[in-house]
Chains A and B, each alone.
Chain A
Amino acid sequence: MSEFAVPFHWRNFKSRYNLIGSRCSSCGKYFYPERSICPICKRTVKMEKVKFSGKGRVFTYTVIRVPPEGFSSYAPYIVAIIELEEGVKITGQIVDCEPEDVEIGMPVEAVFRKMRSEKGSGIILYGTKFKPA
């Protein structure tokens, strides 16, 4: 993974830390993270800011055994697509769960965790993970 300067991470804090996304005022669909153009309505419409509850279910998952740069000390780890109760889907790790215990449909909730740290600059990255609910 490429190393990025502070602004790259700083501007993503809102969505990474708080699960803030958008709701299209025209079609009512939810998106995460925030978008300024609704991909369903195909035009710029009023997108309202929303904070997701963080509760949802596992839509699909995998266990990463061969990790990319920066993640080797965490492998094996579970990554899943979570369908939040608002209907939006997001990608995130599942923690406090053994790889053999995760399954499609499993209820989960969001938790705030350390992701990894940048090798060169030492910046520690935080974000949202999920744990069994």
Chain B
Amino acid sequence: MIDYSKLKPARDVAIIGIGSTIFGEHWDKSLRDLAGEAGSKALHDANIDPKEIQFLVGGNMSGGMFVGQEHGAGLFADHLGITPVGAIRTEAACASGSLAVRVGYMAIASGMYDVVAVGGAEKMTDVYGDRATSVLAGAMDQENEAFHGLTFPGVYAFLANRHMHDYGTTREQLALIPVKNHRNGALNPIAHFQRKITLDNVLNSPLVADPLRLLDCSPISDGAASLIMVSADKAKDYTNSPIYIKASAQASDSLAVHDRENITTLNATLVASKEAYARAGLGPEDIDFAEVHDCFSINELIAYEDLGFAKKGEGGKLIESGETEISGKIPVNTSGGLKAKGHPVGATGVAQLVELVEQLRGEAGKRQVENARVGLAHNVGGSGATVVIHILSNER
């Protein structure tokens, strides 16, 4: 176990600007259009001259396979209009976006740069559905999982069946998660699906990978999100309401699910959350609200347990209690989550922080969590071979 008390970042980091496209099927917009739109919104929100940006980090899972475009670093710098500053593209499957945030955070915390633009973008609807399924399957073990015809809904169905077997979690409990997230998404003007669904809708939707049904699964979306980050000492030069990054944490696990002792927990979430809580000097009881990685209903339920919001095996009880609703003790996925807000894979991790910042600024409108002071974002790559967690606060 690493002793995080001896590993203090050199300086604090603040977020001063956020921007996001609407998530959905953007047949009229390309990867570069989406990235540019989110980036310029964030620059505008931060009220900053693009010439002040010193470094760029952009998350993108698979521009190469979705639109034949690699070299996201160059593409994003070019289309955000901030060349010739340096740029990095980050990739860790569905955690590519939060990894961009993390690299941007480290660039400022280390003292290398003062002003950094961070973004995430994915263009997924330029390919047919079975192609998209195959591209996403590239995030699992290609030779030992995907080879057998396994898909991502299938991987999480593995987890769901075992969780139901070991803890008695029910099909209905799982279905309550997308119902809640659609209720929140209906209040979010940038969500892919801005409409409510019922328990019956979920339970009667077509099976994708037993026991998971279509409405347990996050959609294939296009979208981009962006943040402008600065060293905390400079934040007040730009805004009266900077949001501070209290912790950035990350962990890994085996690429293939079958190589894990226990598949009803994501060990990388356990490890990364311990790091995040230690670095922030907080515990799960201090978190006012969270955005968690509900790529499939079961994964939000497992996240409740792994992040310490519920005891192991009692995630089903937590969703039934209603305490993860916006009005509850620990609101989860106020944005609508990946399920209703949408899941453009490279953008998701950044978009989670956009929601955290809106909430912490008190600008979340009908989704506003009362007295939101500390928020947590949990972003999973693949089946948990990468997990990235950030804790944000409106107090330094």
Using a CB–CB cutoff of 8 Å, the interface residues on chain A facing chain B are 1-2, 12, 16, 31-33, 39, 59-72, 74, 77, 79, 81, 89-93, 99, 104, 115-116, 125, 127
Interchain CB contact under 8 A, B148 and A67: no
Chain B positions within 8 Å of A39 at CB level: 254, 259
CA distance A63 to B208 in the complex (A): 8
Interchain CB contact under 8 A, A62 and B209: yes
Minimum C-beta distance from B357 to chain A (A): 35
CA distance A60 to B210 in the complex (A): 11
Minimum C-beta distance from B325 to chain A (A): 30
Minimum C-beta distance from A131 to chain B (A): 14
Interchain CB contact under 8 A, B158 and A60: yes
Interchain CB contact under 8 A, B149 and A93: yes
CA distance A65 to B217 in the complex (A): 13
10 A-B pairs besides A1-B137, A104-B161, A127-B148 with CB distance below 8 A are A16-B147, A62-B157, A65-B208, A67-B133, A68-B137, A69-B134, A70-B149, A71-B149, A79-B154, A90-B144
CA distance A1 to B274 in the complex (A): 36
Minimum C-beta distance from B155 to chain A (A): 8
Interchain CB contact under 8 A, B146 and A68: yes
Chain A positions within 8 Å of B340 at CB level: none
Chain B positions within 8 Å of A72 at CB level: 130
Q: Is B153 an interface residue (CB 8 A)?
A: yes
CA distance A130 to B137 in the complex (A): 22
Interchain CB contact under 8 A, A81 and B148: no
Interchain CB contact under 8 A, B148 and A79: yes
CA distance A67 to B128 in the complex (A): 13
Interchain CB contact under 8 A, B147 and A115: yes
Interchain CB contact under 8 A, B144 and A33: yes
Chain B positions within 8 Å of A65 at CB level: 206-210
The 3 closest A-B pairs by CB, nearest first: A62-B157, A89-B258, A63-B210
Chain A positions within 8 Å of B208 at CB level: 65-66
Chain A positions within 8 Å of B138 at CB level: 2
Contact of B133 among A32, A59, A63, A66 (CB under 8 A): A66
Closest to A63 in B: B210
User: Which among A12, A63, A66, A127 has the highest number of chain B CB atoms within 10 Å?
Assistant: A66
Chain B positions within 8 Å of A61 at CB level: 158, 161
Minimum C-beta distance from A72 to chain B (A): 7
- B179-211 residues at the A interface, CB under 8 angstroms: 206-211
Chain B positions within 8 Å of A70 at CB level: 134, 149
| Contact A104/B165 with A66-B151, A68-B151, A127-B147 known, Cβ cut-off 8 Å | yes
Q: Is B131 an interface residue (CB 8 A)?
A: yes
Interchain CB contact under 8 A, B148 and A92: yes
Interchain CB contact under 8 A, A69 and B258: no
What does the 1/0 interface line of B248-284 toward A look like (CB < 8 Å)?
0000001011110001000000000000000000000
Interchain CB contact under 8 A, A81 and B130: no
Chain B positions within 8 Å of A66 at CB level: 129, 133, 151, 153, 208-209
Contact of B162 among A2, A64, A104, A127 (CB under 8 A): A104
Closest to B207 in A: A65
Minimum C-beta distance from B321 to chain A (A): 27
Closest to B143 in A: A12
Interchain CB contact under 8 A, B130 and A69: yes
Q: Is B150 an interface residue (CB 8 A)?
A: yes
Q: Is B33 an interface residue (CB 8 A)?
A: no
Interchain CB contact under 8 A, A60 and B150: no
Q: Is B145 an interface residue (CB 8 A)?
A: yes
CA distance A12 to B258 in the complex (A): 18
Contact of B149 among A31, A33, A67, A81 (CB under 8 A): A67
Interchain CB contact under 8 A, B151 and A67: yes
Chain A positions within 8 Å of B146 at CB level: 1, 68
Interchain residue pairs with CB less than 8 A apart (7)? A1-B146, A31-B259, A39-B254, A60-B162, A64-B154, A115-B149, A127-B147
